[in-house]
């Protein structure tokens, strides 16, 4: 079918508009990269825009050997990996239970989860609760609070409900338990949903800032995002290694390099789950 002239004009307009929007979104990122790779003299003179000048990797070398950066990076990787695994397990199990038609009060329980999407106990009440159960200044306070996300549970439940009930009925006839059905049948068929929701959780844990700020005071529990915040507000307090090298670097360059170093790991995850992303969002959204 041939397109009309109006459709061609509309497509060209869309391409130009979306390209311009994408370029606008990328400009800050490109500017930060250019600044992180530029020498001190050009950064201080504010001559760096989108291309690095006086190319150097000294800023990246500096942050890599920084002791606090290493600790924060390792902690955040640990939180992201363990937190995502725990969150996926709890989300899958909760969603599976909510798909049971014979669950007493199942609709009421589902409404309780949805209720928490709109209303919460408040920051002070949450802090008091965490203090009473011993989570303040505890490694697990950076993991447990984000394990359950009502939106992800609803998404996973819809995906589970899109799987043919006949498969589960056949497994029950063969004597399979609920745990066996979930782990041997349902989850292997839900790779798209698991990849999508896993990406959501991974990004959440990697970008964790408020929880670390409110519920931790120990430097060994400083996440990458909290470290970046401290870098931006009090960089001199964190430059506790290799002061001689710092004399040849602009603080703006170090900040930019730290931001890029913190972003790259989570960006590298997306290409591996991108093919599941759209499928995981759409499957289960439409019922026949």
DSSP symbols for 171-200? HHHTT--HHHIIIIIIGGG-HHHHHHHHHH
How many whole angstroms separate alpha carbon 185 and alpha carbon 179?
A: 10
pTM of the predicted protein model: 0.76
Cβ-based burial of 160 (10 A; exposed 0-12, middle 13-18, buried ≥19) = buried
pLDDT at 85: 93
What's the number of CA atoms in the CB half-sphere (13 Å) around residue 185? 20
Q: At residue 257, what are phi and psi to the nearest 5 degrees?
A: -65, -35
For residue 87, name the pLDDT band (cuts at 50, 70, 90).
very high
Give the lowest-confidence range in 49-53, 248-252, 266-270, 276-280. 276-280
The mean pLDDT value of the chain amounts to 80
**pLDDT over 80 (residue 277):** no
Give the highest mean pLDDT range of 70-84, 170-184, 249-263, 272-286: 70-84
Closest to 238 in 3D by CA, of 58, 53, 72: 72
pLDDT at 288: 46
pLDDT, one tens digit per residue, over 248-267 is: 566 777 778 878 877 877 77
Summarize the confidence of residues 151-178 as an average pLDDT: 82
How many whole angstroms separate alpha carbon 272 and alpha carbon 191?
A: 12
């Amino acid at each position: 079918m041939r397109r009309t002239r109006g459709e061609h004009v509309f497509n060209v307009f869309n391409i130009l508009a979306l390209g311009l929007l994408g370029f606008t979104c990328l400009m800050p990122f490109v500017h930060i990269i250019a600044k992180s790779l530029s020498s001190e003299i050009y950064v201080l003179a504010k001559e760096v825009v989108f291309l690095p000048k006086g190319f150097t990797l000294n800023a990246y070398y500096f942050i890599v050997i920084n002791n606090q950066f290493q600790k924060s990076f390792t902690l955040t990787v640990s939180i992201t990996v363990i937190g995502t695994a725990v969150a996926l397990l709890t989300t899958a199990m909760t969603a599976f239970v909510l798909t049971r038609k014979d669950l007493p009060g199942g609709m009421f329980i589902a409404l309780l989860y949805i209720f928490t999407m709109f209303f919460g106990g408040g920051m002070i009440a949450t802090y008091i609760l965490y203090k009473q159960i011993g989570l303040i200044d505890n490694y697990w306070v950076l993991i447990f609070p984000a394990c359950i996300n009502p939106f992800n549970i609803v998404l996973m439940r819809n995906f589970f409900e899109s799987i043919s009930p006949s498969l589960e009925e056949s497994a029950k006839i063969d004597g399979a338990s609920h745990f066996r059905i979930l782990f041997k049948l349902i989850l292997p068929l839900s790779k798209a949903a698991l990849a999508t929701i896993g990406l959501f959780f991974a990004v959440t844990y990697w970008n964790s800032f408020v929880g670390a700020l409110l519920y931790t005071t120990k430097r060994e529990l400083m996440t990458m995002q909290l470290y970046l915040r401290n870098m931006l507000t009090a960089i001199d307090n964190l430059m506790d290694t290799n002061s001689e090298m710092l004399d040849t670097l602009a603080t703006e360059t170090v900040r930019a390099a730290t931001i890029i170093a913190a972003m790259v790991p989570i960006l590298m995850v997306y290409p591996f789950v991108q093919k599941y992303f759209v499928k995981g969002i759409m499957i289960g959204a439409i019922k026949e």
